[in-house]
Structure 1
Amino acid sequence: MTTLKFYPAVLSLGLLAACGGPSKQEKAEAQANTPADTVATAATNVKLPEPYATESTTKRSKVIGWPQGKTPTVPAGFTIQEYAGNFQSPRWAYITPSGDVLIAEANTVPTTTKKKVTAALDLDPSKSLRETSANRITLLRDTNKDGKPDVRETFLANQSQPLGMLVLGQYFYVGNTDGVWRFPYQAGQTKITGKGEKILSLPKGGYNNHWTRNLLASPDGKKIYVSVGSGSNVMEHGAENEVRRANILEINPDGSGERVYASGLRNPVGMDWAKSTGKLWTAVNERDELGDELVPDYLTSVQEGAFYGWPYSYFGQHEDPRRKGERPDLVKKAVVPEVPLGPHTASLGLAIYDGQAFPAKYQGGAFIGQHGSWNRSAFSGYKVVFVPFNNGKPTGGMEDFVTGFIANEENKEVYGRPVGITEMPDGSLLVLDDAGEKVWRVVAM
């Protein structure tokens, strides 16, 4: 039987009522007293505005799709082309040991009457909310090695919003929104045929797109790490709604031995290892409704047993006014992340580049897929960024790598929205565009 060790920030809280927001006078005073500083490129130099220095704004993108022949933009020395298309919300990719590409197709589904009507009438222009989810994993195989798949099969169907995938030993694992499943697997098979078993139950769904559950094996294959996003923006539904959420969990390959590896991570989706140091890294999607410049998403190493602030503070010891005074002990111990990734960018995908096909500058560095903002007056994200590393540590701030997803900001139009980032065995990079329903491949010339 699995022994549970609950999220330390909420275990002793009991039931808390959500705090009210600031008055108009408090907002005005915050705006008047906020310096024009913006987030610097190094975590030690980050200067953040006061909460509510600007009004919380909703600006949702309208996805118009990619015109024929149109592609995203990459730096000089690289090319980008469509690897495969005609998916239904391709959100995540995994490369099997035999080199097959698995694509998880899933999206947010409506849970309330209002959202069901919105989805049924196709009234969500951002393509985040749809009436149904494909709930499948598609296999792509490139048999002639020309850089384009020529085999396409449904690898696994009838899942529950799958995202993370993993081959470990003789099993294929999938992270569904409500739990981790494993299936008998043999290298090279194009379809799962054996009966699966649920090895770990998880809290289903979550705030906005926090239904995603990513999986990552430890380098020695003895542990599996599971990312579980928060069930709310800032614990407004009470502590009981956040048990085992906003965490990276660690389990054994059979699902036993569950423990919280790190907590206070609002929505840690992308995870990867820095091979030179053996450290775990994650990209974290931070909270909303504190203004245009708050709160920056971030890239951070994950320290075992550490607490990263959510919901009580952000980016270290910046206390969230909506949870003011509740847990000063946890605010004091909140770890400062290494690299800010911009406010409201929805930084989700993460791949630490291990190959040698890209120029030396990119080797060992981190690529992050930014799905794009909705809670900001000007768009942020909607691109893939790169953070340089040296000896397993970041040496600078983020820089643009794949851009061109925004078609016309004035009209709120975007061609697509990048999410998952996956390195191929040949050193090329796959960029999953769930709203554009394509998978792009970036190659160094």
Structure 2
Amino acid sequence: MEFIAKATAVVGGAVALLRRVGAPSHQAMGASPQIPDARKQGIMTLKMPVAQGWKNGHVPTCAPGLKVNAFASGLEHPRWIEVLPNGDVLVAESKEQAGPPKTLMDHAAQATMRRAKAIGVSANRVTLWRDADGDGVAEIREVFVENQNQPFGMALIGSRFYLGNTDGIVVFDYTPDATSLTGTGQKLVDFKPHGHWTRSLIVSPDGTKIYAGVGSLSNIGDQGMEAEQGRAAIWELDVETGAARIFASGLRNAVGMAWEPTTGALWTVVNERDGLGDETPPDYLTSVQEGGFYGWPYCYWGDTVDDRVTQDAALVARAIKPDYALGGHTASLGLCWMPAGTLPGFGDGMVIGQHGSWNRSKLSGYKLIFVPFENGAPSGAPRDILSGFLSDDEKIAYGRPVGVTLGADKKSLLMADDVGDIIWRVTGA
């Protein structure tokens, strides 16, 4: 497997280098992005840095006026964070578990992903971290719940704790200040596993609904659309009745979600399709309309048709154009609303954890960024909060940003780094 990984790196590097010729010099960003015409790749560009982690006091680079410290370390592929009312911090530790490779490309991709720590044996647990002395570093660690199936999103409503496993939503009884859950939980909703496996959760402001992101099985419906039924969507669960339905669809891989307080709209970040070029199409941040269709797999950025897919003209005609482009293949996963005053120098806006690309000639993402908002909509260019996760030669990843949320003090951000195996805490300097 190591030989395949090294061979893939050599071949992939050569292909990526060739594809830099004529590659776009700008990122497709903002409300009116310049999206290059599609350039079908045939053989996918496969370029991913080797996961190294942080050594010898090396930490991410902060924006001016900020500082960063490790709130928790020694985790096993931390992906998502939930802060409880008492200030305890829950972290989902899980990893993609690859199925048997079917093609040479599958072998190559899996070998590369293992070197990047993106796939492997999953810890399948949620750990609880408590900063009892308030110094910004957790000194208490407990196993909150274990033996789950690739756990990811978490939500607490009263005395009920909801967990988004890859195969569905499970609910447990929760006692305030408890450091662990008891019992096996009750399955409420079934989701199809595999493919884009993460299942993020967010509670409606009135506490009556839970929304869950369920990504596609494949890149562009490669195994047929029947296999994609119930996927590439955001689901809605009625907490009282248990009724579940698709709230919005055509979202290839909607992960992080957040409520925008001015309009009350639900927003999400979406990972778009591969194989059409470095900036085509861009990942995006968008508000989500009930019953809305956002194009996947038939089209992107509104009605731009992907001619690799057997078309559905009616769906293309009703496809909603996203609100804000985030650049091609940035793998924007984490999302939270950050009110003005949380960090010095930053107003209202969305914070986005960009896990980082693999399907482009020059890597993108690998940052924690901020998109300013005014009157319920993005209002300017993104700003870096944390960077420096990638070496200058793009060969080494010190870390990769994933989930992000406000700290319990409302004056900090917590961000999961699944290569560094750290939860970073960002505050004013």
Structure 1 and Structure 2 fold alike (TM over 0.5): yes
Counterpart of 1:127, as a letter, is: K
Alignment of 1:178-197 (within 5 A): 178-197=167-186
Q: Is residue 34 of structure 2 the alignment partner of residue 42 of structure 1?
A: no
1:356 corresponds to 2:341: yes
Give 2:401's aligned residue.
418
Q: Is the 8 A contact 1:379 1:409 kept in 2?
A: no
Contact (CA 8 Å) 1:38, 1:49: kept in 2 or not? Answer: no
What does residue range 250-289 of structure 1 map to in structure 2 within 5 Å? 250-253=236-239, 256-289=242-275
Could you list the per-position Cα deviations for residues 268-314 of structure 1 after superposition, in whole angstroms to 9, with x for gaps in the alignment? 00001012221100010111011122120000011111111100001
Contact preservation (8 Å) 1:51, 1:321: no
SS class of match (2:315)? helix
Cα distance in 2 between the residues matched to 1:195 and 1:126:
33
Question: Per-residue CA shift, 1:89-147, capped at 9, x if unaligned?
Answer: 000000011111000000011210579999999982111011x1000000001111111
Paired residue secondary structure (1:124): helix
Q: Find the partner of 2:49 among 57, 61, 66.
A: 61
Partner of 1:80: 68
Contact 2:52 2:419 survives alignment (8 Å): no
- Matched AA of 1:415: Y
1:145-164 aligned at under 5 Å gives the runs: 145-164=134-153
Q: Give me the identity figure in percent.
A: 46
Give the match for residue 396 of structure 1.
380
1:12 is aligned to: none
Question: Does 2:151 match 1:166?
Answer: no
Residue 223 of structure 1: aligned partner? 209
Partners of 2:417 and 2:27 in 1: CA distance: 27
1:368 paired residue number: 352
**Residue matched to 2:422:** 438
CA positional deviation for 1:369: 0.6
Amino acid of the structure 1 residue aligned with 2:232: A
**Alignment-derived partner of residue 205 in structure 1:** 194
Give secondary structure in 2 for the equivalent of 1:80.
Answer: strand
Aligned with 1:95 (options 62, 77, 83)? 83
1:342/1:143 Cα in 2 relative to 1: closer, same or farther (>3 Å)? same
Counterparts of 1:84 and 1:135, CA distance in 2:
18
Task: Identify if the C-alpha distance between structure 1 residues 390 and 65 changes in structure 2 by more than 3 Å, giving closer, same or farther.
Answer: same
Partner of 2:224: 238
User: Are 2:307 and 1:318 aligned?
Assistant: no
Q: Distance in 1 between matches of 2:107 and 2:313?
A: 42
What amino acid does structure 2 have at the position aligned with 1:244? G
Give the Cα–Cα distance (whole angstroms) in 1 for the partners of residues 295 and 108 of structure 2: 34
Counterparts in 2 of 1:335-350, with a 5 A limit? 335-350=320-335
Aligned partners of 1:41 and 1:396 also within 8 Å = no
Distance 1:213 1:120 in 2: 21
Matched, 1:126 2:112: no
Deviation per CA, 1:240-275: give whole Å up to 9, x if none: 111110000101115722121111000000001012
Alpha-carbon separation, structure 2, partners of 1:144 and 1:119: 44
In structure 2, runs of 5+ residues without a counterpart are: 1-18
Following superposition, the deviation at residue 170 of structure 1 comes to: 1.4
Q: 8 Å contact 2:48–2:112 — kept in the other structure?
A: no
Q: Which amino acid aligns with 1:353?
A: M
Contact 2:28 2:279 (C-alpha < 8 Å) held by counterparts: no
Task: Decide whether the 8 Å contact of 2:47 with 2:361 is kept in 1.
Answer: yes
Deviates more, 1:155-164 or 1:385-394: 385-394
2:122 and 2:53 mapped to 1: Cα distance?
Answer: 19
CA contact (8 A) 1:200 1:255 kept: no
In structure 2, what is the Cα distance between the partners aligned to 1:212 and 1:170? 24
1:143 to 127, 132, 135: 132
Counterpart-to-counterpart distance in 1, 2:110 and 2:341: 46
> How many Å separate the matches in 2 of 1:217 and 1:69?
37
8 A contact 1:155–1:191 mirrored in 2: yes
The one-letter amino acid of 1:134's match is A
* Secondary structure of 2:82 counterpart: strand
Q: Residue type matched to 2:34 in 1?
A: K
Shift of 1:41: 4.1
Quick check: 396-405 or 78-87, which moved more? Answer: 396-405
Deviation at 1:338, TM superposition (A): 1.1
Q: Do 2:24 and 2:279's aligned partners in 1 also have CA atoms closer than 8 Å?
A: no
Segment drifting more, 138-147 vs 326-335: 326-335
Distance of 2:239 and 2:402 partners within structure 1: 27
Give the TM-score, by structure 2 length.
0.89
Question: CA contact under 8 A between 1:223 and 1:253: conserved in structure 2?
Answer: yes
Q: Secondary structure at the match of 1:407?
A: coil
- Contact 1:39–1:340 at 8 Å: present in 2 too? no
- Quote the Cα distance in structure 2 between the aligned partners of 1:346 and 1:375: 10
- Provide structure 1 residue ranges, at least 5 long, that are not aligned to the other structure: 1-30
**1:327 and 2:317 equivalent?**
no
Q: CA offset at residue 53 of structure 1?
A: 6.7
Distance 1:110-1:388 versus aligned 2 partners, 3 A rule? same
CA distance in 2, matches of 1:36, 1:288: 16
Give 2:13's aligned residue. Answer: none
What is the CA-CA distance between 1:435 and the residue it aligns to? 1.3
